[in-house]
């Protein structure tokens, strides 16, 4: 009796263990490529340096000794802002001297005019001669001319004093400073070079194939190397017709947008978009093709080739083997002319480990 009870207990325990043990089914992760329309354009990128579109040299119109310079490369200037100053001592002295000459000339002119007026009255009374009147008139005219000249000299001296302060002719950025403080400079001697803020260009070289696709006015973009989030619009402004090196043609882009952070000498990347010939199919990565175990009837000469791929079925979470017709290979991609539709997903990695109808777990798309 005890023997039967023991046997029943063993059977019951064994049955419970069989119910508890479950074999976990292994589902392979699948990396896929989303079939999309082929890009119809290509973007070419060129490293370059931001340059000022126009440099202007500023100088004094009068000579003199510089005062302390506070000008620095990269400094932002507004129109009318002082750039440099000359010691005004000698120029101020010239103004004072000219003013004194005007005062003397005014006194002389007044006396000469008074003498002329008096001589005319005497002539009317017959108390003087016509010659004396003419001499007085000549003296009055001469002193009046001298007064006019003295006033012009004063005006010129005042203008020279005003020119002792060199100001920015427009909103600009300092490109270089060519003198030092307290040096004597002559008329027209370069003090600094400046360029208009917001007026930049980019120069680089391209090969023969690229230059033949460019026209003046074609739109492009530049991206700051240190601030890749800043992208500015440009247009092609100049196209070199002669190579400056072997198959290297200079191209100039004119910025049509600006940014307060822009400075000449900044490293940038120029991007130009070129249209591609219309694609005859869809492109998929080479890794999507099943290269092992290919069977079937070989293509006849001149006929498009066929290759199998695994297409993901979202309804069953399985992969289905499918033959697609290819039109060629471009770089690391295969051009498929039939057998796939835009929006379908195909296995893009590990295809040699898959089987037709195999259940899979979808992973992230291939970048």
DSSP string, 1-46: -HHHHHHHHHHHHHHHHHHH---PPP-EEEEEEE--PPPSEEEEEE
**DSSP string across 119-140:** HHHHHHTTSS-HHHHHHHHHHH
- For residue 328, CA distances in Å to 225, 285, 304 come to 37, 12, 9
Segment 257-270, tens digit of pLDDT: 988 888 889 999 99
Instruction: Identify the CATH number of the domain defined by range 43-52+199-275.
Output: 2.40.30.170
Segment 113-159, tens digit of pLDDT: 999 999 999 888 888 889 988 999 999 999 999 999 999 999 999 99
Those residues with Cβ within 8 angstroms of residue 267's Cβ, 6 or more apart along the chain or in another chain: 47, 48, 49, 50, 224, 225, 226
- pLDDT at residue 27 in the model: 84
- pLDDT at residue 11 in the model: 39
d(CA 198, CA 180): 28
Domain ranges in the chain with CATH number 2.40.420.20: 280-365
pLDDT at 212 over 70: yes
- Average pLDDT (66-90) is 94
Q: Which tokens belong to 195?
A: 């360029």
Domain ranges in the chain with CATH number 2.40.50.100: 57-87+164-195
pLDDT at 316 over 70: yes
pLDDT at 200 over 50: yes
Top-level class of domain 280-365: mainly beta
Strand pairing category for 64-65 and 184-185 = antiparallel
- pLDDT at residue 243 in the model: 72
339 within 8 A of 284, measured Cβ to Cβ: no
Nearest to 60 by CA among 84, 79, 95, 40: 84
Instruction: Identify the CATH number of the domain defined by range 89-162.
Output: 1.10.287
Domain ranges in the chain with CATH number 1.10.287: 89-162
351 within 8 A of 288, measured Cβ to Cβ: yes
- The residues pairing with 326 across neighbouring beta strands, listed in sequence order, are 305, 336
- pLDDT at residue 39 in the model: 64
Neighbours of 319 (CB within 10 A): 25
Domain ranges in the chain with CATH number 2.40.30.170: 43-52+199-275
d(CA 262, CA 254): 14
71 within 8 A of 84, measured Cβ to Cβ: yes
> Which long-range contacts link 135-141 to residues 24+ away (Cβ below 8 Å)?
136/112, 139/112, 139/115, 140/109, 140/112, 140/113, 140/115, 140/116
- pLDDT at residue 147 in the model: 94
Top-level class of domain 57-87+164-195: mainly beta
pLDDT band at 332 (very low <50, low <70, confident <90, very high): confident
């Amino acid at each position: 009796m005890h023997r039967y009870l023991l046997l029943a207990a063993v059977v019951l325990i064994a049955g419970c263990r069989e119910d508890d043990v479950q074999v976990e089914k292994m589902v392979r992760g699948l990396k896929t490529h989303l079939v999309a329309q082929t890009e119809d354009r290509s973007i070419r990128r060129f490293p370059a340096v931001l340059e000022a579109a126009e440099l202007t040299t500023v100088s004094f119109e009068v000579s003199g000794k510089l005062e302390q310079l506070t000008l620095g490369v990269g400094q932002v200037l507004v129109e009318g802002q002082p750039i440099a100053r000359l010691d005004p001592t000698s120029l101020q002295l010239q103004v004072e001297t000219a003013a004194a000459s005007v005062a003397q000339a005014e006194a002389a002119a007044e006396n000469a005019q008074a003498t002329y007026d008096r001589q005319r009255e005497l002539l009317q009374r017959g108390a003087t001669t016509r010659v004396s009147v003419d001499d007085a008139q000549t003296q009055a005219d001469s002193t009046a001319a001298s007064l006019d000249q003295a006033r012009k000299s004063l005006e010129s001296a005042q203008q020279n004093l005003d020119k002792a302060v060199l100001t920015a002719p427009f909103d600009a950025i300092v490109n270089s400073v060519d003198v030092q403080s307290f040096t004597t400079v002559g008329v027209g001697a370069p003090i600094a070079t400046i360029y208009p803020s917001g007026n930049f260009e980019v120069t680089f070289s391209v090969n023969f194939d690229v230059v033949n696709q460019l026209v003046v006015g074609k739109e492009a973009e530049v991206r700051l190397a240190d601030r890749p989030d800043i992208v500015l619009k440009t247009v092609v402004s100049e196209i070199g017709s002669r190579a400056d090196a072997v198959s290297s043609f200079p191209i100039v882009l004119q910025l049509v947008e600006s940014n307060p952070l822009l400075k000449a000498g900044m490293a940038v990347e120029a991007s130009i978009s070129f249209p591609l010939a219309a694609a005859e199919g869809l492109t998929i990565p080479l890794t999507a093709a099943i290269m092992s175990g290919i069977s079937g009837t070989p293509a006849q000469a001149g006929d498009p080739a066929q290759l199998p791929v695994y297409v993901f079925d979202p309804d069953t979470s399985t992969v289905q083997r499918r033959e697609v017709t290819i039109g060629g290979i471009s770089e690391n991609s295969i051009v498929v002319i039939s057998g796939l539709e835009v929006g379908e997903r195909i296995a893009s990695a590990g295809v040699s480990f898959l089987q037709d109808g195999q259940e899979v777990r979808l992973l992230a798309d291939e970048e």
